[in-house]
Amino acid sequence: MLRFRSSLMAFLTFAAVLPCCSSNDNPLLTDVATQYGEAYCVKLEDCMGTEDFELAYPGGQEDCAARTFSIHGTSEKSTCTQEEWDKCTKDLEEGTCTTSDAGAVRPTIPDSCQGC
């Protein structure tokens, strides 16, 4: 669970600085958190294997996304365009897996997601 919270904290930390430099045409943070969370969880299941994933997230993909990447109550916009988010999430789903020093397997965050 710690590995997921680390990813969530990194995402939320970056999201906290977004209001100062966002564009009105960019998607809402709540929408991109959902999009990113769904892509992350698809890849996470691939990395972990279905059996281990289902043990960790008995409610499946929706359970994973809701517990790891949920932002509520904000109307702030992302600094990235929808096209940038689409590339990030596509690259995430098609990317590789990383094993941490503690042995946890998780998706590698692609370069296209940096800054988003």
Tokens at residue 57, please? 């997230």
**Residues in CB range of 38: below 8 A, 6 or more apart:** 61, 65, 89
Q: Residue 26 in contact with residue 82, Cβ under 8 Å? A: yes
The whole-number pLDDT of residue 16 equals 46
Encode the chain (116 residues) as per-residue pLDDT tens digits: 555 555 544 454 444 444 444 447 899 998 999 999 999 999 999 999 999 999 999 999 999 998 888 777 788 999 999 999 999 999 999 999 999 999 999 999 999 999 88
Q: How many CA atoms lie within 13 A of 61 on its CB side?
A: 11
Q: Residue 42 in contact with residue 93, Cβ under 8 Å? A: yes
Of 81, 88, 89, the residue nearest 23 (C-alpha): 81
Calculate the CA dihedral of residues 20, 83, 12, 54 and round it to 10 degrees.
170
The domain ranges of the chain are 2-13+26-113
